Amino acid sequence: MSKPRFPRITHRFVILVLVIAILSLSGLAAAAGPPQISKVEPANWWTNFVSPVMVLLYGEDLSDAKISISYPGVKIKKTQIQPDGKHAFVWLIVAKNAKPGNVTLEVKTPAGATTADLALLERAPGNGRFQGVTRDDVIYLIMPDRFADGDPANNMPKGATPGTYDRNAAKAYHGGDLKGIQDHLPYLKDLGVTTLWLTPIVDNDNTSETYHGYGATDLYAVEDHFGTLPEFQQLVDAAHKQGIKILLDMVPNHVGPNHPWATSQPTPGWLHGTTEHHINNTDYDFPPVTDPHAVEKNYRNALDGWFANVLPDLAQENPLVAEYLSQNAYWWMEIGGVDGFRIDTFPYVPRTFWTSYLQHLQAIYPDFFAVGEVSNSEPPVVSYFAGGQKGFDGVDTHLTTPFDFPMNSAIREVVNHGAPAKKIVDVLRQDRLYPHAELLVTFIGNHDMKRFVTDAGGSTARLKLGFSLLATIRGIPQIYSGDEIAMPGGEDPDNRRDFPGGFPGDQQNAFTPGGRTPEEQDVFSHVQGLLKLRSEHPALRTGKQKHVVVTDDYYVFTRETTGERLMVVFYKGDTAKSVTVDLTDTIIANAKRLSPVNAAPEVHLQGTQMQLQLAPQSVAVYKVE
């Protein structure tokens, strides 16, 4: 019998075995390290509030963790430890009789132990908080970075990349902050606005081009260029004392490319894809979502694509993601006492998510108001996302109202580009598609489009005409900061120039009458007068709108509520004109007298014949008696 043959053992083979053994042992040693907690989200919660609360722990070596607590009135409902060892979810049930204090979570593994803390706070009184928005309000859009620099000390926060702050760079931080907004609340109150919409104030990365706030790196922190959480709370409190409400800009659709989730997802499927492999969404085509004949692939880019091909898209169909985003919404409402949300990129999120997200907010805060960005000029598309109705998919989004992008488009086309006045009526005719068209947020400009006066070729007369129409048609008007002083600006980012006078070294201060040019003061006084007129006449705020007559260059309509009926005459012509209107079969056929309410020409009535003197590019308002 022959001897068995064994493979020849070489020195190279021995070395290879030793290297593998060493690497394996070092890997085991690394895996056996004690647990570490680097972050807790949320860092605090409230007694007598939503329970259970889902706590997300970030750290290292958590894969074998056992988590426990010992706090009266608080217990763990369940835990979910992620295999990556970097994330753990803990659901805490907080009894109604639990007392405020510091809840310590003990985290143990075979290799060691550590702790994580959750501050349990007492809820602040609701008086003056969570007010919502109504048709009596006027919304004013502020990009904090471009409004006023109240604290130059935060212009270059610790850790910021050189060049992050540079007023000469169009896409860098310019120094505007929360303190700057608070300092100028008297200006806003004097103008006549009652609600501020702040673009996102959450933490973005400390590099350039994140001044706008739409690339979050931490959904539970205030951007340090803008200030601190206490400064945000002080702003809200100060605004409320001035009778001014606050809307926060929320972005549940996506986060920024430098958010930790972009490279380390808390669970598989937290995002749609990864930084290296994801759907590209650069065409922003969401109307297929509103098409009953579309199939899933027709709108997958909109719902799952990374916005602009760089913003990580959150998977709201993942129950953990949905719960995280909902809790984040509750947290901002409670921590700030704000009055509602403006919601970014609304159509790019599954409609079923909005049903839960908004319904729960409305249950906690009965006056909660949410206005959604649905950027499209067609009422059938925009109206599909309005709450109060079920779409063909059987879903009610529960959105209070969308922005009226179709009306924005119509006003710009009619006032600035020669379209007939009938185009405005064409939009109004489709109000039947909305459960509450009276709540639509109307606007002539925002931070994503060319400034109105620039779109008007520099004509402040057209800008004033646009504002006049905005103040008199149905809906809740929204003004873009700076439009009230005829700030110019092209496409983004030129439309986001600094408000003059809000920053150190500015040559003029448009926050004061003496600091405005005659042209700026003329527009400011016009807008201020319109908002005063609107506040004095309930029919302009809550009255039903009815057509009287519409032609290519003028549109006559009424606004009527209990005790007040007004007639509004919009005329876009460049020269004065006299017209006679037959009122037979109109809503004011039996009018006895039409008295000017603003600086309007006299109207002559003879039977059912009304003779109007139309001043160039004007809106005249009359009391119908």
Active site residues: 344, 373
The verdict on whether omega for the bond into residue 42 sits within 30 degrees of 0, i.e. cis, is yes
Q: Where are the beta strands (DSSP E) in 71-165?
A: 74-81, 87-94, 101-109, 112-121, 139-142
Q: Where are the alpha helices (DSSP H) in 144-228?
A: 178-183, 185-191
255 close to 215: Cβ distance less than 8 angstroms:
yes
| Nearest alpha carbon to residue 571 among 586, 550, 592 | 550
Secondary structure element (H or E) that encloses residue 370, with its range? strand 369-372
Residue matched to tokens 């109207």:
603
CA 512 from chain center: how many Å? 28
Q: Where are the beta strands (DSSP E) in 223-339?
A: 245-250, 280-281, 306-307
C-alpha R_g of the chain: 29
Residue matched to tokens 């217990």:
75
Which DSSP category does 262 fall into?
A: G
Distances (CA, A) of 558 to 426, 546, 588: 16, 5, 8
Count of all residues that appear for the chain in the document:
625
Which DSSP category does 88 fall into?
A: E
- Whole-angstrom distance, CA of residue 625 vs CA of residue 622: 9
223 close to 203: Cβ distance less than 8 angstroms:
yes
Tokens for 269, please give them.
């499927």
Residue matched to tokens 């402040």:
460
